């Protein structure tokens, strides 16, 4: 007889390492299922032998009672363990093969359990408050000897994969539109006025004036014949007959050449001073005159709408993207030189600046909580749907492997405890 309310006492065993779901369970050199079944067979053999020799000695009755109750306990626990995962001996007994029949409910219950007990935003926030994410990141970045290789490889791989996965046409259009929009928002006129004013104050305009004067001299030399022709065409017949037209044109050319020569030699030439005054006025107007600023803005917009400028932006984006991809695919280049130094300095700063650490930790906490709040149910739906997609054999094998030998130890304990209970009952019966 077996007491169904008794709780089997598990014999002491050394702790075994945790096992992953779906992984074959090691048996420590022997099959514990064979041991449990073997004990049941041994108890049956002892029962038969004890019944045959029960008249030899009164003590044989105790052995028979132990074996009989052990068989009952072992068989009952074998039935209970087997009924969890399959029909015992293939018989469709009601309320057996519990796990395969209820796998959908198990998946839903497991997902609901995780959602209501673990993936709660307040629990995640409380846990994140104990984590120093910024400190860990700072230590990782500031110690390239320990993590530099992984950092270079990981960062370069992430950037390269991200750039490769993006729609380059759409991304390029976004980048170019952003650049054009920023340029359109830029008030160019005051900047030009300040730059021109600074150049005049420091005398940096003088080389430009010298170049203009030299250009004028060269142009006059190459186009003197045009001046002669213009004077000749605009002179009357008497002037042309007397040759005065040639004399006048020669004097004009000579006078212009002398003027340009004097301007080239004298930095304080009156004409140069007038040019400087005009430039100074232009610099002032660019900074203060709304009308002049509007004209400059119009020119700026026309340039940005020009097809040649758009082609230049296209080429600029392609060059930048190609250079970034090339650097991202080379871990040594990605974090080498100045960029690597900046990463290391940033890591050291994270470890030292308390304000930045608090800010980054707060951001990490909010990001984690937001991710759980937004995608927690989606992740758990994946758990439920995955279990629903398993067939009966898959979920049975994985749960049996997850529990491991413990189910067989239940059978062993049931056999032993059942036998002890049988001895106790037989002893009471003898005493009464």
Q: Output the pLDDT for position 144.
A: 53
Q: Output the pLDDT for position 23.
A: 36
Q: Output the pLDDT for position 386.
A: 77
Q: Output the pLDDT for position 45.
A: 92
Supply the pTM of this predicted model. Answer: 0.39
Greatest pairwise CA separation for the chain in angstroms: 169
367-426: pLDDT as tens digits:
887 877 777 777 777 777 777 777 767 777 777 777 767 788 888 888 889 889 988 988
Q: Output the pLDDT for position 379.
A: 73
Q: Output the pLDDT for position 4.
A: 37
Q: Output the pLDDT for position 332.
A: 60
> Which parts of the chain have pLDDT scores under 50?
1-29, 145, 147
Tokens, residue 65: 């009672």
Residues in the chain: 432
104-159: pLDDT as tens digits:
777 777 777 777 777 777 777 787 778 887 777 777 766 654 545 555 565 556 55
């Amino acid at each position: 007889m077996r007491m169904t309310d008794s709780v089997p006492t598990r014999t002491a065993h050394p702790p075994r390492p945790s096992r992953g779901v779906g992984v074959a369970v090691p048996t420590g050199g022997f099959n514990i299922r064979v041991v449990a079944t073997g004990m049941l067979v041994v108890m049956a053999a002892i029962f038969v032998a004890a019944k045959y020799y029960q008249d030899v000695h009164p003590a044989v009755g105790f052995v028979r009672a132990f074996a009989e109750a052990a068989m009952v306990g072992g068989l009952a626990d074998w039935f209970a363990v087997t009924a969890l995962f399959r029909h015992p001996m293939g018989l469709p007994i009601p309320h057996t093969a519990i796990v395969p029949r209820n796998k959908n409910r198990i998946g839903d219950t497991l997902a609901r359990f995780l959602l209501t007990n673990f993936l709660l935003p307040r629990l995640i926030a409380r846990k994140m408050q104990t984590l120093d994410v910024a400190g860990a990141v700072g230590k990782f970045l500031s110690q390239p000897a320990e993590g530099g290789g992984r950092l270079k490889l990981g960062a370069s791989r992430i950037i390269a994969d991200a750039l490769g996965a993006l729609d380059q046409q759409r991304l390029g259009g976004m980048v170019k539109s952003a650049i054009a929009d920023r340029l359109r928002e830029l008030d160019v006129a005051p900047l030009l006025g300040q730059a021109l004013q600074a150049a005049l104050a420091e005398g940096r305009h003088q080389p430009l004036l010298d170049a203009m004067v030299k250009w004028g001299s060269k142009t006059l030399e190459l186009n003197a014949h045009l001046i002669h022709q213009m004077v000749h065409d605009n002179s009357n017949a008497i002037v042309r007959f007397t040759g005065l037209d040639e004399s006048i044109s020669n004097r004009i050319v000579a006078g212009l050449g002398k003027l340009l020569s004097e301007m080239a030699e004298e930095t304080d030439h009156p004409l140069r001073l007038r040019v400087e005054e005009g430039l100074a006025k232009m610099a002032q107007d660019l900074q203060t005159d709304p009308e002049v600023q509007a004209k400059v803005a119009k020119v700026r917009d026309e340039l940005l709408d020009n097809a040649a400028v758009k082609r230049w932006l296209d080429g600029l984006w392609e060059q930048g993207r190609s250079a970034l991809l090339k650097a991202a695919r080379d871990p040594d280049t990605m974090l080498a030189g100045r960029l690597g130094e900046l990463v290391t300095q940033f890591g050291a700063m994270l470890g030292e600046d308390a304000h930045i650490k608090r800010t980054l930790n707060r951001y990490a906490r909010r990001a984690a909580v937001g991710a759980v709040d937004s995608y927690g149910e989606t992740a758990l739906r994946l758990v439920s749907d995955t279990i629903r997609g398993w067939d009966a054999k898959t979920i049975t094998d994985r749960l049996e492997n997850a529990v491991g030998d413990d189910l067989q130890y239940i059978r062993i304990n049931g056999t032993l405890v059942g036998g002890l209970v049988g001895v106790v009952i037989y002893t009471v019966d003898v005493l009464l």
